[in-house]
Amino acid sequence: MDQKQIEEIVRSVMASMGQDVPQPVAPSTQEGAKPQCAAPTATESCALDLGSAEAKAWIGVENPHRADVLTELRRSTAARVCTGRAGPRPRTQALLRFLADHSRSKDTVLKEVPEEWVKAQGLLEVRSEISDKNRYLTRPDMGRRLSQEAIDALKSQCVMNPDVQVVISDGLSTDAITANYEEILPPLLAGLKQAGLKVGTPFFVRYGRVKIEDQIGELLGAKVVILLVGERPGLGQSESLSCYAVYSPRVTTTVEADRTCISNIHQGGTPPVEAAAVIVDLAKRMLEQKASGINMTR
pLDDT digits (tens, 9 = 90+) for 39-85: 444 445 446 777 777 877 888 898 888 989 998 988 888 788 898 88
The 3-class SS string of 119-131 reads HHCCCEEEEECCC
List 206's β-bridge partners, or say none: 127
What residues are designated binding site for adenosylcob(III)alamin?
Answer: 210, 231, 261
Half-sphere exposure of 71 (CA within 13 A, CB side): 5
User: Is residue 34's pLDDT more than 50?
Assistant: no
Question: Which candidate, 295, 197, 180, 200, places its Cα nearest to that of 246?
Answer: 295
What residues are designated binding site?
Answer: 210, 231, 261
Task: Tell me what pLDDT residue 200 has.
Answer: 96
Rounded Cα–Cα distance for residues 284 and 156 (Å): 27
Domains, in order of start, for the chain: 110-295 (3.40.50.11240)
Sheet strands side by side (includes 259-265)? 124-127, 203-206, 164-169, 224-230, 241-247, 259-265
The whole-model pTM stands at 0.77
For residue 277, which phi and psi values (nearest 5 degrees)? -65, -40
List 261's β-bridge partners, or say none: 244
Rounded Cα–Cα distance for residues 205 and 225 (Å): 13
The pLDDT tens digits of the residues spanning 202-217 come to 999 999 999 999 999 9
DSSP H or E run through 227: strand 224-230
